[in-house]
Structure 1
Amino acid sequence: MTQAPSADVARLLEALRGGDAAALDALVPLLYDELRTLAHRQRRRWVGDDTLDTTALVHETYLKLADRHGASWETRAHFMAAAAQAMRHVLINYARDRRTRKRGGASVRVPLDSVEAQEGEADEEEELLLALDTALRELERANARQGRIVECRFFAGMSIAETALALGVSTASVSRGWALAQVRLYEAVRRELRR
């Protein structure tokens, strides 16, 4: 993966902050490889329906980012953190839609003997993803910074230093926040999955 020249990215981010909506259309192709890597990482993490592949996740993320009128991202890391957050929302919405369809929404009759064993694994992954989202929302209400740290570290795969840069805090703050957030999320996910 090659990174787009920092000067080009900085210029386009500046144009976006200045209100140039077309700058996003120029920025995304420059960061497309990085966005695909991020999406691929997310797709590997969650088993499920293959209709939402890496490319589809990147495109859905672009639509979410384009819909954020007036968004201003300061740096490449800040933009990638926002992209990770958008990917999280796309994946969560996708899992919720699948669960709704399975539980009666747009139901289709299927003989029980035709259901594959793999569906159970996908269902467990969806439940885990939804439990994580619920736990993360709870964490964000209790401590917004820790929620952002989780998005950067877990969803975007950023290092401690990259997360600190994206959030404008020290690496020590990120390290402490990440350790505390992991404990809180672990307990909250366990609690959610027992329901």
Structure 2
Amino acid sequence: MTLGGPADSSEITQLLRHWSQGDERARDQLLARVYDRLHQLADQQFRRERGNHTLQPTALVHEAFISLDSVDIEWQGRDHFYALVAQVMRRLLVDHARSRARQKRGGGQIQIELEDCDASTPAPSTDLLALDEALTRLAERSERIARALELCYFGGLTQDAVARILDISRRTVDRDLKLGRAWLRAELEAS
């Protein structure tokens, strides 16, 4: 899934700048401009999970955007926006999974399939809480690798976009994703 071309990037960047300066019309225009993309990301997340999920993609998009609306941030552009969306969606999904698990006393684990993000290592199948814990442990070893996986998996970003956000080469992103996925597979199979 690609993010669009240079015109798309400059338009979104311009709307982000105006929004961060308090322009509510720019916020509304931005939401209209990125809504379909955000909904695709949310749909992607839910296709990987069990079918009877109580949180719906539309609600996830709205909650993520509301969370971003309350953040005082100087946006650096479209990639920065989608990177932050990835973090917010991860947090919201994990919080929701934890809440469900508490309600069902351990029965609310959400099974997911990790997509390959163009990396050749096969994706492990795991529940969202175990994935979040493993990513947190991975970040203690290599924050960059964990971030690359988060951007790819939760943000649906291309490897080129991940390379721009992390300010590393595409080849390094490829290597990080392969290493990270192999580490996650070993870590998740051990638990």
Alignment partner of 2:91 out of 84, 89, 92:
89
Could you tell me how far apart the structure 2 residues matched to 1:124 and 1:149 are? 22
- Which residue matches 2:111? 125
Larger mean CA deviation between 29-38 and 148-157 belongs to 148-157
Alignment check: 8 A CA contact 1:75 1:166 kept? no
Deviation of 1:163 after TM superposition, in Å, equals 1.3
Larger mean CA deviation between 122-131 and 134-143 belongs to 122-131
- How does the TM-score come out when normalised to structure 1? 0.78
For 2:89, the aligned partner's letter is: M
For 2:163, the aligned partner's letter is: A
Structure 2 alignment gaps of length 5 or more: 113-125
Deviation of 1:174 after TM superposition, in Å, equals 0.9
Deviation of 1:21 after TM superposition, in Å, equals 6.4
Distance 1:179 1:130, change over 3 A: same
- Which residue matches 2:157? 158
For 1:91, the aligned partner's letter is: L
Alignment check: 8 A CA contact 1:16 1:72 kept? no
Could you tell me how far apart the structure 2 residues matched to 1:124 and 1:166 are? 29
Q: Could you give the per-residue CA deviations for residues 122-150 of structure 1, whole angstroms, max 9, x where no partner exists?
A: 64628711000000011112211111100
Could you tell me how far apart the structure 2 residues matched to 1:164 and 1:49 are? 35
Could you tell me how far apart the structure 2 residues matched to 1:63 and 1:72 are? 17
Could you tell me how far apart the structure 2 residues matched to 1:21 and 1:135 are? 39
The count of aligned residue pairs is 174
Q: Could you give the per-residue CA deviations for residues 2-61 of structure 1, whole angstroms, max 9, x where no partner exists?
A: 9684332121222345x4363444322210011001110011111154331110110111
Structure 1 alignment gaps of length 5 or more: 105-119
- Which residue matches 1:58? 61
Distance 1:64 1:141, change over 3 A: farther
Distance 1:90 1:124, change over 3 A: closer
What secondary structure does 1:180 align onto?
helix
Could you tell me how far apart the structure 2 residues matched to 1:41 and 1:103 are? 27
Please identify runs of 4+ aligned residues in structure 1 that moved more than 3 A. 1-7, 21-26
Q: Could you give the per-residue CA deviations for residues 90-120 of structure 1, whole angstroms, max 9, x where no partner exists?
A: 110000000101129xxxxxxxxxxxxxxx7
- Which residue matches 1:35? 38
C-alpha RMSD of matched pairs (Å): 2.6
Could you tell me how far apart the structure 1 residues matched to 2:129 and 2:23 are? 33
- Which residue matches 1:112? none
Matches within 5 A, 1:1-195: 5-16=8-19, 19-20=21-22, 22=24, 23-47=26-50, 49-69=52-72, 71-103=73-105, 123=109, 125=111, 128-191=127-190, 194=191
Between Structure 1 and Structure 2, whose CA radius of gyration is higher? 1
What secondary structure does 2:86 align onto?
helix
Could you tell me how far apart the structure 2 residues matched to 1:64 and 1:140 are? 23
